[in-house]
Amino acid sequence: METETLQSLSLPTAMEEPFEISLTPKAIEKVKAFAQGNKESEGKGFRVYVQGGGCSGFSYGFNFDESREGDTIVPVGDINVLVDPVSVPYLKHAVVDYTESMQGSGFSVQNPNAKGSCGCGSSFTV
């Protein structure tokens, strides 16, 4: 993880516990770059979610989307991060980064709620 300051904001959820998700400066830069290159993302937030699947049981997903009823909306810089109610407990205090390496590039999640993950870096167990 970069040593630069992470941008995040804590918001209360329906459970009355603070929900926090952070994006590294590199992730913020890439979200903005992808949004600028995609007219369909105009006016939409950056959705981070958890879904069943992957080699460890759960996997992360990312897309540009409109907010839906029940979403937690976290302003991170000038990006609205959208998290659905099912994903909130899995992503509490997670840090989204963007990595580039010889193996490929993409968003990754450093998740304190994960009990384990697999070698692909996009799935986890709880």
Burial class (CB in 10 A: 0-12, 13-18, 19+), 74: buried
Q: Give the integer Cα–Cα distance in Å for 21 and 88.
A: 9
- Kindly state the helix (H) or strand (E) to which residue 99 belongs, with its residue range: strand 94-101
Q: Does a structural domain hold residue 77?
A: yes
- For the chain, residues with pLDDT lower than 70 are 1-17, 53-56, 115-126
CA dist., res. 83 & res. 60, Å (int): 11
We report the CATH number of the domain holding residue 72 as 2.60.300.12
The answer to whether residue 9 sits within a structural domain is no
Kindly state the helix (H) or strand (E) to which residue 107 belongs, with its residue range.
strand 104-110
| pLDDT for the residue numbered 55 | 57
pLDDT for residue 13: 45
Q: What is the pLDDT of residues 75-91, one digit of tens each?
A: 998 899 999 999 998 89
Residue 38: domain span: 18-119
Look at residue 120 in the predicted model and tell me its pLDDT. 46
Contact predicate 117/124, CB 8 Å: yes
